[in-house]
Amino acid sequence: MAIVAMRKIILYLLVLVAPVFLTAQDDFYPPESFYGGGVGFSQMFLFSHVGQLTGFERLGTDSTADGSTVGLGLDVNGFAYPFVISGGEGFSNITERWRIGGYAGVGSSFIGGKPTITMFLDTDGNGEYDAGTDTTKLYEPSATTGNYAPDLQVKISMWVSGATIEYAFPLFRGLELSAGTLLGIGRLNLSITQTSGSPSWNDHFTSIYEFNADGYYGVTDANGDGDTTMADLEYFESNFFPSIAISHGMSALTGTFLNVQPYLAMKLQVFDRMGLRMTVGYNLGTIGKGEWRTEDRKPITDSPETGLSDLAIRAMIYFGL
């Protein structure tokens, strides 16, 4: 699948630059010695199924040694593929052939859902549902009763930054190939939010004070003295704004890794001060065993090793020479 996507991107770029070769052939002649550089917007397409990384199994459905089903039950295929990291990139020649530069970018993708909950009477007390024996009832969220289904959200974010060094092979004036390496630091962040009592879309358009659209609000025995009098209106007025408690839990895990990305690049000078550049490489990054940390930077000593080694393509529009 990654190869098919890469072919589509390469074909798109060839279609994009073909008119330049046909209309500006006079500009493509053997190169002259020059020193130049450029800076611009760059996107990295990392062909990695981030929801299926080692250690992330329980974002979906997993099984323990005794056969019990565990996990959040989410569809991990819902994360973006390829994973897109947007940022900036720059480069500058230090000799006629050697070039240095840098890249920095950030990307994120999230999935979420409200699970369907089926309650059952655990008659044997073993914690497992026995089909055909245990009585079941579907949990039914209701805005009227204030019973809401739990809300689950998982967000994966990635930051990548580093320096580049490469050696250029000029083919024609305005067109060159180069081989190089991106070396830097990356950070992967996993945020899991579990909220109880999360209302649905329509509930966001319902007044939390439950007064009618015309502004009228019925008050009965607000002060609890057994009578409905003006004292109840005065009591209600002084206690009108209730405190609203929201129950939720959030986990934020972070792993930092050394990122190495050897690549091949093609640079095309489309106009005098603007061009296109594409790199195709292989990203090499690993978060070591026990190197994941909590949001308050405490190490998780039993965390697994998580690898981020996949095909990476960067596409850039630059301004410069």
Residue ranges per structural domain of the chain: 2-25+36-115+150-208+244-320, 117-148, 209-243
Helix (H) or strand (E) holding 230: helix 230-238
Q: Tell me what pLDDT residue 177 has.
A: 94
**Token pair of 4, please?**
């098919």
Whole-angstrom distance, CA of residue 149 vs CA of residue 198: 7
Strands (E), the chain: 37-46, 62-63, 69-70, 83-93, 98-113, 118-120, 136-138, 151-172, 175-196, 247-271, 274-287, 306-307, 310-320
| pLDDT for position 69 | 74
Q: Distance between CA 11 and CA 76 in Å, rounded?
A: 29
Cα separation of 156 and 296, whole Å?
18
Euclidean distance between the first and final Cα of the chain, in Å? 35
Look-up of token digits 């080692």: 54
Neighbours of 279 (CB within 10 A): 26
Question: Can you give the pLDDT at residue 106?
Answer: 97
Distance CA(60)–CA(111), nearest Å, equals 11
Q: Which pLDDT value is given to residue 3?
A: 52
**pLDDT given for residue 27 in this prediction:** 47
Distance CA 107, CA 283 (A): 15
Distance CA 286, CA 255 (A): 9
Q: Tell me yes or no: is domain 2-25+36-115+150-208+244-320 CATH 3.40.50.300.
A: no
3-state secondary structure of 144: coil
Using DSSP bridges, classify how beta strands 62-63 and 37-46 pair: parallel, antiparallel or unpaired: unpaired
Please report, in tens digits, the pLDDT of each residue of the chain (321 residues total): 545 555 555 555 444 444 444 444 444 444 555 667 899 999 999 999 999 998 888 888 877 777 667 778 888 899 999 999 999 999 999 988 899 999 999 999 999 887 777 777 776 766 677 777 767 777 776 655 556 677 888 999 999 999 999 999 988 878 899 999 999 999 999 998 877 655 555 554 555 555 555 555 566 777 778 777 777 766 766 665 444 434 455 678 899 999 999 999 999 988 888 999 999 999 999 999 999 998 878 888 889 999 989 999 999 999 987
Whether the upstream peptide bond of residue 262 has omega within 30° of 0, thus cis, is no
Q: Can you give the pLDDT at residue 146?
A: 59
Q: What CA–CA distance (Å, rounded) separates 246 from 196?
A: 8
Q: What is the pLDDT of residue 17?
A: 46
305 burial type by CB count under 10 A (0-12 exposed, 13-18 middle, 19+ buried): middle
pLDDT at residue 222, rounded to an integer: 72
Q: Is 101 helix (H, G, I), strand (E, B) or coil?
A: strand
CA distance 176 to 31: 9
Quote the pLDDT of residue 197: 58
**Could you tell me which of 218, 170, 210, 215 has the C-alpha nearest to residue 34?**
170
The DSSP letter of residue 304 is: P
| 188 three-class SS | strand
Residues 180 and 165: beta-carbon distance below 8 Å: yes
Supply 40's token pair. 């611009």
What are the backbone dihedrals phi and psi of residue 76, each rounded to the nearest 5 degrees, phi first? Answer: -70, -15
Sign of CA dihedral 293, 296, 297, 300: negative
CB 319 within 8 A of CB 274: yes
Round to whole Å and give the CA distance between 108 and 64.
30
Question: What pLDDT, on a 0 to 100 scale, did the predictor assign at position 202?
Answer: 55
